Structure 1
Amino acid sequence: MENPKIGVISCSGEECLGGTLSRMATRKVMDELRSGEVVSLCLPLYIARGGEDREFAKKHPVIAVDGCEKCCAKEATIKYSGEVKDAVVITDLIGDTARDNEPISMRHLRTNEKDMVDQVAKEICRKVDSIYGR
């Protein structure tokens, strides 16, 4: 039997580096590292009555990727669809740098920020693999 898709709902915060890292890492996992295994859920749409995304999250495992300890993606999923299967909190993974640094343009990432994206993407992949039992 084919594995079900896993939803990844990432932070949409623009006020800190963690939000940018969460979106970039989610994209990298979806497009490159676990292509065909995960889909991205849109947090703003999800909160604003995103019926399809909410229904998907009720029927499929979801990983929340939050840029800071506010955990907006996780909390929205719990509120509208039920428990998340797993979660990544970037400030727990990378530290306060993710919360305290200014947001950056995705087009102008420096090497250390690219390394942070890779670190977060690796953690998301670890959670995807765990859900699939690999």
Structure 2
Amino acid sequence: MENKKKAIAACSGMSPYGLVTRAVASDMVSESDNLISLCMGATSADREGFRDLIKKYPIVALNGCEGSCVNKILKQKGVEAAETLNVLEILNEEDLKPTDVSRLDDEGEKSVDAVKKRLKKVLRD
């Protein structure tokens, strides 16, 4: 991974896939000094400080599903994601199906690992 910081913008949706995106973002940021996470609620609400933050670093959008809300919110704020991952697609490819919107079970943890693996590849490229 480059030394330049990047931001991860995770889905904030109330689905198991949204939970997986947030867990991935949290894990990845805690494992690297070169990553920050963006709060999509604060970004959407145009909270002071976030207007500048979303333009400061290249953003990797982690969408929970095909709705691509993360990309849509960023676009509304005049920002394009540098990279986009659709967690639902990734997990379908891996035959993983998280089931809880608020707690990670074994399937949820496996899902987080699968998405982190894909995200690490994107960050290296």
Q: TM-score, normalised by structure 1?
A: 0.81
- Rounded to whole Å, the distance in 1 between the matches of 2:7 and 2:53 is 8
Structure 1 residues 104 and 47: CA distance shift in structure 2, 3 A? closer
Q: Is the counterpart of residue 60 in structure 1 residue 60 in structure 2?
A: no
Cα contact 2:96–2:111 (8 A) shared by 1: no
- Rounded to whole Å, the distance in 2 between the matches of 1:125 and 1:81 is 26
Task: Name which of structure 1's ranges 112-121 and 45-54 shifts more when overlaid on structure 2.
Answer: 45-54
Code of the residue aligned with 1:116 in structure 2: it is: S
- The root-mean-square deviation of aligned C-alpha atoms, in Å, is 2.0
Structure 1 residues 83 and 62: CA distance shift in structure 2, 3 A? same
Aligned to 1:49: 46
How far residue 68 of structure 1 moved from its aligned partner, in angstroms, is 0.7
Deviations 1:6-58 (A, max 9, x none): 010100011x21000000011111112xx101100000000001342232222
Aligned to 2:79: 82
- Rounded to whole Å, the distance in 2 between the matches of 1:12 and 1:20 is 8
How far residue 88 of structure 1 moved from its aligned partner, in angstroms, is 0.9
Cα contact 1:57–1:81 (8 A) shared by 2: no
Aligned to 2:66: 69
- Rounded to whole Å, the distance in 2 between the matches of 1:54 and 1:39 is 15
Code of the residue aligned with 2:54 in structure 1: it is: A
- The number of residue pairs the alignment matches comes to 122
How far residue 112 of structure 1 moved from its aligned partner, in angstroms, is 2.1
Name structure 1 gaps, 5 residues minimum: none
Name structure 2 gaps, 5 residues minimum: none
Aligned to 1:20: 19
Cα contact 2:99–2:108 (8 A) shared by 1: no
Structure 1 segments of 4+ aligned residues over 4 angstroms from their partners: none
Q: TM-score, normalised by structure 2?
A: 0.86
Q: Is the counterpart of residue 117 in structure 1 residue 112 in structure 2?
A: yes
How far residue 103 of structure 1 moved from its aligned partner, in angstroms, is 2.9
Aligned to 1:6: 6
Code of the residue aligned with 2:59 in structure 1: it is: V
Code of the residue aligned with 1:13 in structure 2: it is: G
